[in-house]
Amino acid sequence: MPRVRKTTRQFEKDKAAFFNQCKARHAVCWLCGMPIDYTAEKNTSDESYNLDHLYPVSKHAELQFDPAGFRPSHTSCNRLRGNQDPPTPIGTLSRQWITTA
């Protein structure tokens, strides 16, 4: 699967800040609602942290660098999600993305 690897310094900073926030509040995976292993190296195991986007970057490239669309996910969940649009909301997560849709 071809992937656009465009990155900016600000994006890197935003990503790092987002990761630290998630880690500090033990944010759960927004796709499955289960805890994420923040001690694991990113993108290395199924339980490890992976930065997901509310809207798939492949369909909404313009939103790739927008921190408002960042979501914490498991590496495995993100992989399973692929390029799909936001999943059926789980519990309290629903409002978050419906209001921004």
The answer to whether the CB of 89 falls within 8 A of the CB of 64 is no
- Give me the residue label for tokens 């369909």: 59
Question: What is the residue whose two structure tokens read 């923040």?
Answer: 38
Q: List the structure tokens of 87.
A: 């999943």
Euclidean distance between CA atoms 27 and 38, whole angstroms? 9
Residues 36-65 that bind Zn ion (CB under 5 A): none
- Tokens encoding 93: 């997560």
Sole binder of Zn ion in the list 11, 18, 32, 80 (CB under 5 A)? 32
For residue 22, state whether it binds Zn ion (rule: CB under 5 A). Answer: no
Residue closer to Zn ion (CB basis): 13 or 79: 79
Within 69-98, the residues that bind Zn ion by CB under 5 A are 74, 77
Q: How far is the CB of 8 from Zn ion (least distance, A)?
A: 27
Based on CB atoms, which residue is closest to Zn ion, 31 or 64? 31
Write out the residues near Zn ion by the rule CB under 5 A: 29, 31-32, 74, 77
